[in-house]
Amino acid sequence: MDTQSLRLFVLATETLNISAAGRTLGMAPAVASARLAKLENLLGAELLHRSTRKVSVSLEGQDFLPYARELIAQEEAALAAFGKGTAEVSGTLRFAAPSTFAQLYIAPLLPAFMDTCPDLTLDLHLSDAQFDLIEGSYDLALRNSVLEDSSLTARKLADDNRILCAAPEYLDKYGTPTTPDDLLAHRLVAFRDPEPRELVSVDGTKAAFAPRKAAQRLIVNDGLTQARVTREGAGISINSLWAVHRELKEGSLVRVLPDYTLAENPALWLIYPKSNVVSAKVRVFMDFLIRNIGKTAAWSEL
């Protein structure tokens, strides 16, 4: 199978423009259309729907896309093993991440990364909402939950310890909880609508915490908003240390029930579709994030 035609197909799915994809690979529009048609004839399926107005990826094209990317990665790895080819970091990298974390830690690093990979286009999807890696055709994603999908692979970026915190002004006004049971009488700033959580003290004592039973709740779906309203005195919230470690150091937020932590041990994971070969663009970006965030996590000192 002609890997140049595979590259054309992958680029066309990213740009939704066959002529533009062809020009990137040095092909005239007519040549690009002919090569794509030849690939479709070989596979016996229409990979892209064409009309006079737009191009869209067919269901068969969506199914074939991860295989096309893997075949290209296999070729690059084989050439690199024999000292041939460049396995250059080029093309488009589609990366999905929670917007709160990305704004705080990834966005400031992007200029430096782009300087090291001038031929790479980063297509970022930033949202605190849930997303599907495969359906979204992402090359790489950041998640803060345990990997359950067997079609995916993960590398740990950093720990994601969670704590209870509030503004000093809120505690002065409504009192400071001394036991987990005291939380039920307080206002809670909740990220979405959380399920019951288990707290564990330093001596191993376990306690149940049911956020939905709190006296009053403010439910948000954005991490920066959650930290902001907590800092303004709206209530007690469960926050990741990476989201509030600066506020804890400066005193605008303080830990609530400091002897307790959440029983689970979450982490931040870089996930990508399972493959025998990781493409150069994915590997380089993962290594960059781990080197600049994971190994020097500012919140790990707390």
CATH architecture of 91-158+266-301: 3-Layer(aba) Sandwich (3.40)
Does the domain at 3-81 match CATH 1.10.10.10? Answer given as yes
More confident residue, 161 or 36: 36
pTM attached to this predicted model: 0.67
For 162-262, CATH number out of 3.40.710.10, 3.40.50.2000, 3.40.190.290, 3.40.30.10 equals: 3.40.190.290
Nearest to 227 by CA among 216, 215, 240: 240
Other C-beta atoms within 10 Å of 233: how many? 16
Query: Strand runs (DSSP E) across the chain, as ranges?
Result: 48-50, 55-57, 91-97, 120-126, 140-143, 152-159, 162-166, 187-191, 197-201, 206-209, 216-220, 236-240, 254-255, 260-262, 267-273
Does the pLDDT at position 172 exceed 80? yes
Q: Given this chain, do its domains 91-158+266-301 and 162-262 carry the same CATH topology?
A: yes
- Which pLDDT band holds residue 86 (cuts at 50, 70, 90)? very low
Boundaries of every domain in the chain: 3-81, 91-158+266-301, 162-262
Query: Strand runs (DSSP E) across 9-134, as ranges?
Result: 48-50, 55-57, 91-97, 120-126
Does the pLDDT at position 150 exceed 80? no
Does the pLDDT at position 284 exceed 60? yes
Terminal-residue alpha carbon distance, the chain: 53
Does the pLDDT at position 135 exceed 60? no
Contact 244, 253 (CB under 8 A): yes
More confident residue, 69 or 264: 69
Q: What are the tens digits of pLDDT across the range 185-237? A: 999 998 776 778 888 888 888 998 888 888 888 988 888 899 999 999 999 99
Segment of 75-79, 177-181, 282-286 carrying the highest mean pLDDT = 177-181
More confident residue, 301 or 34: 34
